[in-house]
Homo-oligomer: A and B are copies of this chain.
């Protein structure tokens, strides 16, 4: 069962937009046992769309298109689809009503170009888009399926998750693929591979594939097995995953692409603990991660983003003498930040960051990437100095992940916060 992905629109071909949609879709398809044979990006031009559809049809069983469905004049995909499937556009009253409501509920006028988005090919099954105005379209032709979706990632994902993937599973007989991903942090890829070498060798006889997927601050370990008996696949994958968990318990923070913030949210909720933050170099990113999870008001109380020495003094009562004597990026200052933040908000835990994110501000003694991170509870405080990278964005990201890592270890009892 082979799928072809086709993206339509100039923005990818002129390099203005990176095609993240195709990677996301490929991952979803892979997870349900569909192989992606080719990804093609073309312009919003009639002959090229027609030729590409014909070629994709000759190779694939399922052709998923994104893009080219906006209300403006430069989008012609819908008309070309009518030509390809020898059908015509008809205005769908239900879609029209939804589009009109979409604009009215936002207090905006409905224009004729908006109404035209309710003009859809007669022969397709309309896939309702509840988060935008461009409907998805599902065509069937000689046992092959063609789907057209808007290119806006959010709308495409909504349609894929709620309409396209369930319909694909229904329409095609798919092999079973069982994946299990173990999320690790605090250990590099090659060191991790060395640690689990014997276990990794044992995967061969079980016919399980392993992939190490590193990203800043973490390494995902993905196990995959393919076959006809789902129960057998699940049993061996979960047995091997359990073995790994017993091998390196301290490096594992979650599973199956659970993010660091979702994992810590679960831990905070189940333990009933609350947290506050005091941030210098992370500039609000740590608070953002902690509050990006629904229901975070249960455990997140507040944060002090103290981006200047003055605000460290005013917002958190850090001593001006300490700032003068040790600088903002120091154990002394980050520990005052974390303890004062915890006291001010009466939280169970507090986290603090102070570092040189870069690109400027580095010195020989404190080069770009130097970051102090601290955690406090009512018993005391623990702080640690890190040396990350030369890149500002990655330094901010890794600092926030390292702070969350300390919190995870403290809640789970791996890290003892001493009296001070």
Residues of A in contact with B (beta carbons under 8 Å apart): 10-20, 22-30, 35-43, 48, 52, 55, 70-74, 105-109, 111, 113-114, 131, 152, 154, 179, 181, 188-191, 193-194, 200, 209-216, 222, 224, 257, 276-277, 279, 282-288, 290-292, 294-297, 300-308, 310-311, 314-315, 344-345, 358-361, 387, 389-394, 396
In the complex, the answer to whether B310 meets A301 with C-beta atoms within 8 Å is yes
A311 is contacted by which of B10, B283, B345 (Cβ under 8 Å)? Answer: B345
Taking A20-B18, A306-B302 as contacts, is the C-beta distance between A70 and B212 under 8 angstroms? yes
Across the two chains, which residue of chain B brings its CB closest to A110? B190
A-B contact pairs, 7 of them (CB 8 A): A18-B20, A38-B52, A105-B387, A287-B305, A292-B393, A302-B306, A303-B304
Contact of A16 among B71, B257, B291, B396 (CB under 8 A): B257
Q: How far is A311 from B341 in the complex, measured between Cα atoms in Å? A: 11
Given the known interface contacts A41-B39, A108-B191, the answer about A25 and B15 at a Cβ–Cβ threshold of 8 Å is: yes
CB contacts (< 8 Å) of A287 on chain B: these are: 283-284, 287, 305, 307
**Which among B105, B295, B361 is the interface contact of A360 at CB below 8 angstroms?**
B295
Q: Given A12-B39, A154-B391, A190-B113 in contact, is the A294-B72 Cβ separation under 8 Å?
A: no
Contact A111 B194 (CB under 8 A): yes
Find the B residue at minimum CB distance from A39. B41
Q: How far is the CB of A54 from chain B (nearest CB, A)?
A: 11
| Residues in B whose Cβ lies below 8 Å from that of A297 | 307-308, 361
Verify B301–A311 contact, CB threshold 8 A.
yes
B283 x A290 contact (CB < 8 A) = yes
From B15, B24, B73, B209, give the contact of A24 (CB < 8 A): B15
Inter-chain pairs besides A38-B40, A297-B361, 11 sampled, C-beta below 8 Å: A12-B22, A19-B22, A108-B191, A109-B191, A111-B194, A277-B284, A283-B291, A285-B288, A303-B305, A310-B345, A315-B315
Top-3 shortest CB links A-B: A283-B291, A284-B287, A15-B27
Specify the chain B residue showing the minimal Cβ separation from A390. B131
Are B315 and A344 closer than 8 Å at their CB atoms?
yes
Look across to chain B and name the residue whose beta carbon is closest to the beta carbon of A35.
Answer: B13
| Min CB gap A198→B, angstroms | 13
Contact at B114–A190, with CB atoms within 8 Å?
A: yes
Across-interface contacts of A279 in B (CB, < 8 A): 284
| Residue of chain B at shortest CB distance from A281 | B291
- Asked if B284 and A291 sit within 8 Å, CB to CB, the answer is yes
Which residues of B are found within 8 Å of A35, using beta-carbon distances?
13
Name the contact of A314 in the complex, choosing from B209, B314, B344 (C-beta under 8 A): B344
**CB-CB nearest in chain B for A19:** B19
| C-alpha spacing A288/B216, complex, angstroms | 18
Residues of B near A361 (CB, < 8 A) are 297
CA distance A10 to B35 in the complex (A): 10
CA distance A287 to B314 in the complex (A): 18
When distances are taken between beta carbons in the complex, the residues of chain B under 8 Å from A358 are 294
**Is B12 within 8 A of A18, CB to CB?**
no
Shortest beta-carbon distance, A305 to chain B, in Å?
A: 4
Among residues of B, the one whose C-beta sits closest to the C-beta of A387 is: B106
Residues on B with beta carbons closer than 8 Å to the beta carbon of A391 = 131, 154
Instruction: Please report the C-alpha to C-alpha distance between residue A256 and residue B265 in the assembled complex, in whole angstroms.
Output: 38
Q: A23-B17, A39-B41, A41-B39 are in contact. Are A189 and B72 (CB under 8 A)?
A: yes
Do the beta carbons of A308 and B315 come within 8 Å of each other?
no
Contact indicator B301/A191 (Cβ below 8 Å):
no
Closest CB of chain B to A317's CB: distance in Å? 12
Instruction: Give Cα A392 to B295, complex, Å.
Output: 11
Please pick, from B12, B23, B29, B193, the residue contacting A26 in the complex, using a CB distance under 8 A: B12
Contact A154 B394, CB 8 Å, known A191-B108, A284-B284: yes
Minimal Cβ-Cβ distance residue in B for A358: B294
Known: A55-B55, A216-B154. A15 touches B38 (CB 8 A): no
Alpha-carbon distance between A297 and B109 when the two chains are bound, in angstroms: 42
Question: With A12-B39, A152-B214, A214-B152 as given contacts, are A286 and B283 in contact (CB-CB < 8 Å)?
Answer: no
